């Protein structure tokens, strides 16, 4: 396990309020960087560089690295650490709200690499998947349970599975034990790689309409899907049964068993009733 630089003293202690758990394991860092397939021409957007441990490895491979950090107390040290690196830009901002084009440029092709705080991981990932100017690839550290749901196949899918896989192909790169961080969290983490699609896997005229259907389907995950949809959409049994039959989906199935393509077929029938 790699040691932290001496310069990181009390002033850079992890802030519980920001959910900070700093990566300190060199082997895990290598797996993250390798999973991102970084070339000398790549622009990398790192969310939450923290103390710069992962940043140092990214700087060595990327043509350009933009690191956006929410904790303004870490900005001076990051700027000092990478003062001699002409391919690094340290920015202060919140990845949940910051204008992405202002970070990487309007037409820039980019990848996201990040060790995300658990509390903000899902909204950050979903934001990058749903924006118009999305990255080609995301390699992110999240809580293992979250990563497993992102990459789950039919039979184990949840709302987050659909919300991820409608925009990209997700896979687990590796599991990461608590001892890989300082301070150590109480949960196991996972590195997830998501390769985004140029267009969503489901054709919809509005993401909110599609996710209204998905949320309804998962509103009672232990129930058969015709019951979940009837209650979640406030529709009649006949309306729901006709919709499922037209989509070729058995009404006795449960939402977690549907594939992305089946959600697409179901949405096409649902949209025709709106």
Average pLDDT for 43-60: 96
Provide the pLDDT for residue 14: 53
* Interior angle at CA 263, CA 259 and CA 267, nearest 5: 170
- Given a cut of 80, is residue 134 above it in pLDDT? yes
Average pLDDT for 135-140: 98
> For helices 207-217 and 225-233, what crossing angle results, to 10°?
130
| pLDDT band at residue 221 using 50, 70 and 90 as cut-offs | confident
- Given a cut of 80, is residue 161 above it in pLDDT? yes
Q: Which CATH class is domain 207-271?
A: mainly alpha
pTM (2 decimals)?
0.92
Provide the pLDDT for residue 7: 40
% of the chain at pLDDT higher than 90 = 89
Q: What does the H/E/C string look like for the chain?
A: CCCCCCCCCHHHCCCHHHCCCEECCHHHHHHHHHHCCCCCCCEEEEECCCCCHHHHHHHHHCCEEEEEECCCCCHHHHHHHCCCCCCEEEEECCCCCCCHHHHHCCCCCCEEEEECCHHHHHHHHHHHHHCCCCCCEEEEEEEHHHHHHHHCCCCCCCHHHHHHHCCEEEEEEEEECHHHEECCCCCCEEEEEEEECCCCCCCCCCHHHHHHHHHHHCCCCCCCHHHHHHHHHCCCHHHHHHHHHHHCCCCCCCHHHCCHHHHHHHHHHHHCCC
**In the CATH hierarchy, which fold is given to the domain comprising 10-196?**
Rossmann fold (3.40.50)
Average pLDDT for 83-102: 96
- Given a cut of 60, is residue 258 above it in pLDDT? yes
- Given a cut of 70, is residue 163 above it in pLDDT? yes
Give start-end residues of each CATH 3.40.50.150 domain in the chain: 10-196
| pLDDT band at residue 206 using 50, 70 and 90 as cut-offs | confident
Provide the pLDDT for residue 62: 98
Give start-end residues of each CATH 1.10.8.100 domain in the chain: 207-271
Q: What average pLDDT does the structure give for the chain?
A: 92
> The sheet that has 64-69: what strands, in order across it?
88-92, 64-69, 43-47, 111-115, 137-143, 189-196, 168-176
Provide the pLDDT for residue 25: 97
Provide the pLDDT for residue 13: 66
């Amino acid at each position: 396990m790699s040691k932290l630089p001496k310069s990181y003293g009390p002033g850079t202690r992890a802030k519980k309020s920001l959910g900070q758990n700093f990566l300190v394991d060199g082997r895990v860092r290598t797996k993250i960087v390798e999973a991102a397939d970084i070339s000398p021409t790549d622009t990398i957007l790192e969310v939450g560089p923290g103390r710069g441990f992962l940043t140092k490895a990214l700087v060595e491979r990327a043509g350009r690295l933009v690191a956006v950090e929410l904790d303004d107390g870490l900005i001076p040290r990051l700027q000092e650490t990478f003062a001699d690196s002409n391919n690094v830009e340290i920015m202060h901002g919140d990845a949940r709200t910051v204008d992405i084009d202002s970070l990487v440029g309007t037409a820039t092709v980019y990848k996201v690499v990040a060790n995300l705080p658990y509390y903000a991981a899902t909204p950050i990932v979903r934001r990058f998947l749903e924006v118009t100017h999305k990255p080609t690839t995301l390699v992110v550290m999240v809580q293992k349970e979250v990563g497993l749901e992102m990459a789950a196949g039919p039979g184990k899918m949840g709302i987050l599975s659909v919300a991820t896989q409608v925009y990209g192909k997700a896979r687990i790169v590796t599991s990461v034990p608590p001892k890989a961080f300082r301070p150590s969290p109480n949960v196991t983490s996972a590195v997830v790689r998501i390769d985004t699609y140029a267009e969503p896997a489901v054709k919809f005229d509005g993401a909110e309409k599609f996710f209204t259907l998905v949320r309804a389907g998962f509103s009672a995950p232990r129930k058969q899907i015709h019951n979940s949809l009837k209650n979640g959409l406030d529709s009649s049994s006949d309306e729901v049964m006709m919709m499922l039959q037209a989509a070729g989906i058995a009404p006795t199935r449960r939402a977690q068993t549907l594939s992305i393509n089946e959600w697409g077929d179901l949405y096409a029938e649902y949209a025709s009733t709106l």
